[in-house]
Chains A and B, each alone.
Chain A
């Protein structure tokens, strides 16, 4: 892990060299920090280091989250970040005296990623990791919103995000829809059964009236070619008068 950190530092150096050529950070760093705050810088540099005690690494993915609308990570954004961390510590624990200057950032890469650590001036040491973790977890939502990011694009490594559980209504939605469909089907079945019973009663009433009329009629006769089969079975057969009458009409010779 430490070799990785040193490699990371090397890569950062590579990038920094590029940047110096472009003249981006160099002016500020050389001019502003050296004269007045060199002592403070030295002390702070000791506290804030990759892998230092009570230090956390933060990783932002601005282009992934915002695409074209991504803002550049500069000093002002760092200032906001320090403010949010200080605010979190203040609200979480009773340390009233935490100022923005107590939050130290270091090792900013182009990723964008950096390390931060929080110092407590009254006790002159770093705020314990557990407290920082608790504070960040409690206010994670507000920190995310301040940077228009979410849990995946603003990562605090080693501070697991509390994943918001999905909101569940008191009765699950599917039960509601199921009950509606169920009731409709039951109503349909009952209607059909009742109307079927009524129809059958009407039919049986009508048929009892008609059986007196139909007593003499044959009800079911098997028919072949329009002729009932029972007559065909008889030995005499059936004379077809259409042909039988033909003989008499012929004129005699």
Chain B
């Protein structure tokens, strides 16, 4: 293998990502060898054997020529696999998959999940890795090489990454807030604060629960609707600034600092998950949660929503379409066996999801059992006090028969207190399914406050969330920064630190919107709409571009030249027919869902009732949603049109000359 003139050492690693995925580009650190004098260089050239190169597609040849001078490679294939794994495993594995499992049939959900993994996840992952390894450029360059009209795909990826980084760091700010508050005894969300005359607890807190109160009132100080903006919460703003400073510290020096941080952000979540698994399985009542999760509800398989959600989860969990997988693979040796790696990465990602949901369900089981026993005890206390029975006489065992006896013996009193006697049910406690920030900041904290040494568990848990979140942010910001540092116009004027600083500053300033009283509602808008449709479109265009614009045969030949083995007939069928159809199906589903719903709605916190209520979005919020979706999807056709016009204009110029 001929060595290029300058040898570059690769020292970077990837980052962890959430369920919306992120782009990751890696910058390199150059180790320049001592410059050779001209004499040796000519000598070197003469000694080359004259065996001609195999004829390859001109695009590959051009790419190889350009990249020989500047492309670093991974030190070993394992680094590449590790990078992809830490990119794919993120917050979504922890807070989205357990929810889907619970909603769509428990153990039965694994069936559509695994089917979609094999049919959609692995092939698309293999495709992206193969594209990156073949083109040996980042996303914009790779699509530009395939066809200059498709450069918009790369630009759309960068725009989506920018939106993601803006709102994603707010999660880190919340994690910091909870982490700082975990060092108190007792934990601040374990009990309600007192009202003004110190006779009982705060009214909002009584109606809701102490963890919900801490989240909605103390952390977010949420307003009743999205129209009422309120002011910026200074505590949250400070935490957000701190989160951005931490991210800046990590990306400041490029790979030099990022590479070391990522070792921690990638491995620490696994350590904490294992510790929590051991702790979770030994909790009282964990078995209830696990049994609930693993009992399959087969009838859910007939629900189309199950299959759609399985497909969507696989799609977003692997982080396809952000351009980061292309970037990782572009630093591979061309002979790398990316098929094997694609299978390994997708399998590990899915098993991490299942592993995290085991932990989550044991925690659910503990919380549900705790609440159920509390409910029973409240009923016992009510009956004991009303009928002046001996303390300790009523036990959960004889509760039912005693209730019947009392109902028959003292019907009038019993009917008086009957409305207060709740039917305690373990099933209904387990049925409360939560996802996203609600799972992390309300349900988990409720379980943690009932554990012994709750401060330790709380600190561990929020450190894990922080690691997952900061890892994602490293990827997000790197995806935005790499095109900026690569473009000569900007990087010649400003040093790398200043560019990073500017990007962080702008994102932080815009992110202050999410610290206002209505900030959580805007966060939900970004979370639900900034990345979903655009990513589907991007991946659809990618698949069609490779199969029909570039040509599947040509791609197959290139892969054989590179890796030495042809892709199986299975991959080819999936790439050419099944995946585009599947993505179009998802796309149609999303659009019809939006259209059928009529107006879009959101969940608002009502302080007077102490629960969430559904409201409609006002017009300007709908306009923002439309803008979010349009600004990334329109990149693709607009850039294609622009390139077309430019080419026509250039042709016109050359012809006239």
Contacts and interface: CB of A to CB of B under 8 A. Distances in A.
Given A178-B238, A192-B249, A226-B48, A220 B69 contact: yes
A90 interface: no
B248 A64 contact: no
Given A225-B53, A226-B2, A185 B249 contact: yes
A63 B245 CA distance: 55
A217 interface: yes
B35 A196 contact: no
Contacts of A24: none
B75 to A, nearest CB: 23
Contacts of B177: 174
Interface string B196-223: 0011110000000000000000000000
Contacts, number: 129
Interface string A199-217: 0100000000010001011
Interface stretch (A5-13, A38-46, A78-86): A5-13
Interface in A97-126: 109-113
A173 B200 CA distance: 25
B412 A217 contact: no
A193 interface: yes
B384 interface: yes
A189 interface: yes
A40 B191 CA distance: 48
B31 to A, nearest CB: 13
B400 interface: no
Nearest to A180: B180
B333 to A, nearest CB: 17
A110 B384 CA distance: 11
A109 B393 CA distance: 13
Nearest to B177: A174
A111 B389 contact: yes
Given A62-B391, A225-B53, A162 B238 contact: no
Contact of B50 (A174, A186, A229, A242): A242
Contact of B194 (A3, A165, A188): A165
Contact of B242 (A61, A62, A182): A182
Nearest to A214: B35
B495 interface: yes
A240 B50 contact: yes
Interface string A107-149: 0011111000000000000000000000000000000000000
Given A163-B199, A177-B180, A196 B253 contact: yes
A231 B213 CA distance: 74
B422 interface: no
Contacts of A182: 242, 245
A223 interface: yes
Interface in B393-408: none
A59 B5 CA distance: 90
A150 to B, nearest CB: 14
Given A163-B198, A185-B245, A59 B385 contact: yes
B452 interface: no
A217 B35 contact: yes
B9 interface: no
Interface in A195-253: 196, 200, 210, 214, 216-218, 220-229, 240-243
B625 to A, nearest CB: 34
Interface hub of A11, A61, A178, A242 (most chain B Cβ within 10 A): A178
Interface residues on B, range: 35 or more
Interface string B405-442: 00000101100100000000000000000000000000
Contacts of A61: 391
Given A192-B249, A224-B65, A227-B45, A64 B412 contact: no
B384 A111 contact: yes
A7 B413 contact: yes
B564 to A, nearest CB: 20
Contact of A11 (B48, B65, B200, B387): B387
B257 interface: yes
Contact of A12 (B385, B388, B413): B388
A165 B69 CA distance: 69
A4 B2 CA distance: 98
B486 to A, nearest CB: 16
B297 interface: no
Contacts of B55: none
A178 B242 contact: yes
A48 interface: no
Contacts of B110: none
A228 B390 CA distance: 98
Contacts of A177: 180, 183
A60 interface: yes
A189 B48 contact: no
A34 interface: no
B184 A173 contact: yes
B68 interface: yes
B413 A111 contact: no
A166 B186 CA distance: 9
B44 interface: yes
Contacts of A20: none
Contacts of A60: 391
List 3 A-B pairs, minimum CB-CB distance, nearest first.
A63-B392, A174-B180, A110-B390
Interface of B: 2, 4-5, 35, 37-38, 44-46, 48-50, 53, 61, 64-66, 68-69, 176-177, 180-181, 183-184, 186, 191, 193-194, 198-201, 238-239, 242, 245-246, 248-249, 252-253, 257, 384-392, 410, 412-413, 416, 495, 497
Given A112-B391, A186-B245, A224-B64, 17 more contacts: A60-B391, A62-B391, A64-B392, A111-B388, A111-B389, A111-B391, A162-B199, A173-B181, A174-B181, A174-B184, A178-B239, A185-B246, A185-B249, A196-B495, A218-B38, A223-B65, A228-B45
